[in-house]
Structure 1
Amino acid sequence: MNTILQNQLPFIKTFVVTVLFSFTLLLIRVIKTDSTFYLFLVWNLFLACIPYAITLILCSQKTNSFIFWIGFACWLVFLPNSPYILTDLQHIKLSTLESVWFDVLLILSFAINGLVAGFASLSIIQTSLQKKFSNKIANFIVYFILLLCGFGIYLGRVLRWNSWDILQDPTGLLLDIAKRILFPYQHINTWFFTITFGVFLIIIYRMMNHYEIRKIK
């Protein structure tokens, strides 16, 4: 078995258990409320796991630089889907006083799974980048990627774009992005959202890495 896949097996086993827990919570809610409203969380979690699947495929075998960067670009496009589920907490406003605590737990369980899957894929990519660049450059790229995730989340949550629109409507997507880059002062909310969410992701990612390093020591 490939070394990377072998090293990831403990994480994959634990991740499957936590995902089953999330699905159990969702099933309980469907049964108790006779509502399928939160079934979209399953699709969102599926999208959140795509970056992790891409990294396993990309880094589990030897590839030339061209293939690696093509895979890296695909991975980068889907990565914002991983932390995106955190913004699904906005649906709590639709919950009743009796169900709000359960709905918070339900959404957070999916959101944390998505975030962890994204960070796991980012950690694998960071290791690959460290083989190609110095640690400082690799770290800078990782932090920039997390800021891009903040921007990607804005595109998805506020402007309602998704990863598939790169193929379905690339012109419209690029025009929306270009307007915010060329006229930043007219889109202050875009950059405030991007920076605050990006910094939040950087902080959480650093905390998780620090914990892993201390645990290894």
Structure 2
Amino acid sequence: MSTTTLHAPVPFLRRRLGLILLLGISLALSFLLIVCRVVYTRELTFVFLLWNLFLAFIPFGLSALLGLTDRPLRARVLLPVGAVWLLFFPNAPYILTDLFHLTPRAGVPYWYDLALLLSCAWNGLMLAYASLLDMQLLVQRRLGTAAGWGFATTALLLSSFGVYLGRYLRFNSWDVVTNPLLLFYDIVSRILHPFAHLGTWGVTLLYGVFLLLGYLTVRQLGQLRSGDEMTDF
């Protein structure tokens, strides 16, 4: 076995650990900002963001576990885990909409609440993109590059629709099990009567395009860095 083969996984593992470390530090900052606010104000105003961050971490955790192998996963593993991942994935970009809660409040500087909400929104977006990259690569290994990008685009659009369901209709991921009939009815009614629900598709398309452009930008930045490293060495 060649030296190249033996050491090929090392850069990947180093990048993975570096990403986890950075995300961990960033999440710790959000946690600290929330805790300090609670201690200072003795109010639980933004404690719900801790739960939202936990939900946003679930798809990242699932995709990270699936991405530990460098071999194409079998469909009997990828499909059920992928379905659970897709169910929880909208929780990550959903945190961006928590910026709606930004409003001047007595006793706390406006800039502090802005920093707190931006920190949580940033973490939700980065967890979403990191998780989506893992899943896209898994699909790409089995079905090719075009299928991988088709999956990523579809996942972002579906997540945007999920964000609408969560923010405006107040559904949660577990409503698939606890309240499936009402969830199914609201989804089907919007598909069959799109012009009666223009707000639904406005949010879905606009938010989806925004998320897709952000994801493409992150991917392009990664490719530029890879290209610079290859040039340097």
Deviation for aligned residue 1:66: 1.8
> Does 1:50 find its partner at 2:58?
yes
Name the TM-score, length of structure 2 as normaliser: 0.87
> Does 1:39 find its partner at 2:71?
no
> Does 1:115 find its partner at 2:135?
no
Name the TM-score, length of structure 1 as normaliser: 0.93
> Does 1:130 find its partner at 2:140?
yes
Describe the superposition over 1:122-166 as per-residue Cα deviations: whole angstroms up to 9, x where unpaired: 001111111122312221221111111110000000000000101
1:163 is paired with a residue whose SS is: coil
Structure 1: tracts of 5 or more residues without a match: none
Equivalence map 1:138-149=2 (5 Å): 138-149=148-159
Residues in 2 aligned to 1:177 and 1:40: alpha-carbon distance in whole angstroms: 26
Identity of aligned residues (%): 37
What's 2:22 paired with? Answer: 14
Residues in 2 aligned to 1:182 and 1:4: alpha-carbon distance in whole angstroms: 45
Describe the superposition over 1:75-116 as per-residue Cα deviations: whole angstroms up to 9, x where unpaired: 001000001011111111363496221111101101111111
Task: Confirm or deny: 8 A CA contact 2:73 2:138 kept in the other structure.
Answer: no
Residues in 1 aligned to 2:12 and 2:58: alpha-carbon distance in whole angstroms: 17
Residues in 2 aligned to 1:58 and 1:182: alpha-carbon distance in whole angstroms: 36
Structure 2: tracts of 5 or more residues without a match: 1-8, 228-233
Q: Which amino acid aligns with 1:194?
A: T
The alignment yields a C-alpha RMSD, in angstroms, of 1.9
Task: Confirm or deny: 8 A CA contact 1:82 1:118 kept in the other structure.
Answer: yes
Equivalence map 1:177-216=2 (5 Å): 177-216=187-226
What's 1:29 paired with? Answer: 37
What's 2:231 paired with? Answer: none
**Count of aligned pairs between the two proteins:** 217
Q: Which amino acid aligns with 1:38?
A: F
